[in-house]
Homo-oligomer: A and B are copies of this chain.
């Protein structure tokens, strides 16, 4: 491969042949192409784009750069979901055992939180003893016996994406749609599930701020996932307020446990059922959305989903006592009620601000090495559109120590006014 000619092509908006992209990624992984050429290509891609065929080729090249899983001999359908990142999103914890309880295996490779959004691996690690670094053999064994496994992403999965991402991070080329799409889909494709469902978040707590941007990303994710030979669908869902009430690791696991027992916030339950239905439908475990949803609802009502979650925790070494009853987690030392300063209607929330607040009190991290405190977080007691009286609690802060500044910050994230407000819809659009 002539790297200079390859760069010149993208510079001049000449479409790359799929094979040229494959050769480029291979040469990069073989150390034959220096970082300064990769980064110049990334900037050219940022500014000139990649078309669907190029994005598909890049996705395949990333996926093939490391270990790839193949579950076709399991004898059951497989599915997974991916969210683009929001605040309070604990759906993965609920939907993985729920879908498994309906006969579809979920080989979930999950991430850690970074910035204002949390990560499934961090949440599960709030359960004492829970291990997320399983060997491929252990993953397979657990998938065979339980139908669900949730592990952290190791360096052996799509390592070329890791190399390219590290360079994107330092060259301000992260926010490129085709590079985002190839990065997400390559990891999910390597994970091996037959059906991949996307939850593209939209709103002031999401990376996509407008429905158009979210729809566009969703379309490219679905298109690209199909291009690499998997079934796919996507929902565009509201992130103009946190999903559910809890933000913070142990708090979110507790809320997920509530939902798995048929209780918990309506929005978490609803989004779980929506995403779970698509997982059953696209993996061809159920023929219609209606039947898929009914089956999921029965698994929640009967307790089989909840039992599957407890088995998952136990299988991965977690202390089941932490989750099997409310109050099983070690509590945060300080709990502060946050009161509405005035009466009125909640007209908006600064969702990104709430996510950043949770990071600042120790529930998340701003750099990869930072430790997190599983106990801390916040619990929202009100939602957009709801009336509150002055002095009524709008949220609860769970803190490692008393922090007046956290209370002040939270108050500033909740806007109370007089104007009429329409409660935002949970599912803004669907691509299926």
Contact = CB atoms under 8 A, between A and B. Distances in A.
Interface of A: 3-5, 7-8, 11, 34-44, 46-48, 167, 170-173
Contacts of A47: 11, 43-44, 47-48
Nearest to A171: B40
Q: Is chain A's interface secondary structure helix, strand, loop, or mixed overall?
A: helix
A14 to B, nearest CB: 11
Contacts of A34: 35-36, 170
A299 B8 CA distance: 49
Contacts of A43: 7, 11, 40-41, 43-44, 47
Which of A38, A40, A42, A48 has the most CB atoms of chain B within a 10 A radius of its CB? A40
Nearest to A176: B11
Contacts of A172: 4-5, 7-8, 11, 40
B46 A173 contact: no
A37 B3 CA distance: 17
Which of A4, A38, A48, A171 has the most CB atoms of chain B within a 10 A radius of its CB? A171
Contacts of A5: 172
Contact of A39 (B8, B39, B48): B39
Given A7-B172, A35-B34, A173-B11, A42 B44 contact: no
B37 A40 contact: no
16 contacts: A4-B172, A5-B172, A7-B43, A7-B171, A8-B172, A35-B36, A36-B39, A36-B167, A37-B39, A37-B170, A39-B39, A40-B42, A40-B43, A41-B43, A43-B43, A47-B48
Contacts of A48: 47
Contacts of A3: 170
A42 B167 CA distance: 15
Nearest to A8: B172
Given A4-B170, A7-B43, A40-B171, 18 more contacts: A3-B170, A4-B171, A4-B172, A5-B172, A7-B171, A7-B172, A8-B172, A11-B43, A11-B46, A34-B36, A35-B35, A35-B36, A36-B167, A36-B171, A37-B170, A40-B43, A44-B47, A47-B48
Nearest to A46: B11
Contacts of A38: 36
